[in-house]
A and B are shown apart, each in its own frame.
Chain A
Amino acid sequence: DIQMTQSPSTLSASLGDRVTITCRASQSISIWLAWYQQKPGKAPKLLIYKASSLESGVPSRFSGSGSGTEFTLTISSLQPDDFATYYCQQYNNYLLTFGGGTKVEIK
Chain B
Amino acid sequence: QVQLVESGGGVVQPGRSLRLSCTASGFTFSNYAMHWVRQAPGKGLEWVAVISYDGNNKYYAESVKGRFTISRDKSKNTVYLQMNSLRPEDTAVYYCARDRTMAAMTSIDYWGQGTLVTVSS
User: Which A residues fall within an 8 A CB radius of B?
Assistant: 1, 32, 34, 36, 38, 43-46, 49-50, 55, 87, 89, 91, 94-101
Interface code B93-121, partner A: CB below 8 Å = 1, 0 otherwise?
A: 00101001000011111011110000000
Known A-B contacts A43-B95, A46-B100; the reply to A91 vs B105 at CB < 8 A is yes
Are A87 and B112 in touch, CB under 8 angstroms?
no
B80 to chain A, nearest CB (A): 19
Are A1 and B62 in touch, CB under 8 angstroms?
yes
Known A-B contacts A49-B107, A95-B59; the reply to A87 vs B44 at CB < 8 A is yes
> Once bound together, how far apart are the Cα atoms of A38 and B95, in whole Å?
13
Are B109 and A55 in touch, CB under 8 angstroms?
yes
Contacts of B113 in A (CB 8 A): 43
Asked whether B61 is an interface residue with its Cβ less than 8 Å from the other chain, the reply is yes
Among A36, A38, A44, find the residue whose CB has the most chain B CB atoms closer than 10 A: A44
> Once bound together, how far apart are the Cα atoms of A62 and B97, in whole Å?
23
Among B37, B45, B61, B106, find the residue whose CB has the most chain A CB atoms closer than 10 A: B45
**Tally of contact residues, B, Cβ under 8 A:** 23
Are A96 and B47 in touch, CB under 8 angstroms?
yes
User: Which B residues fall within an 8 A CB radius of A?
Assistant: 35, 37, 44-47, 50, 57, 59, 61-62, 95, 97, 100, 105-109, 111-114
Residue of A32, A34, A95, A101 near B44 (CB, 8 A) is: A101
Are A96 and B35 in touch, CB under 8 angstroms?
yes
Contacts of B57 in A (CB 8 A): 94
Are B114 and A46 in touch, CB under 8 angstroms?
no
Contacts of A101 in B (CB 8 A): 44-45
Are A46 and B107 in touch, CB under 8 angstroms?
yes
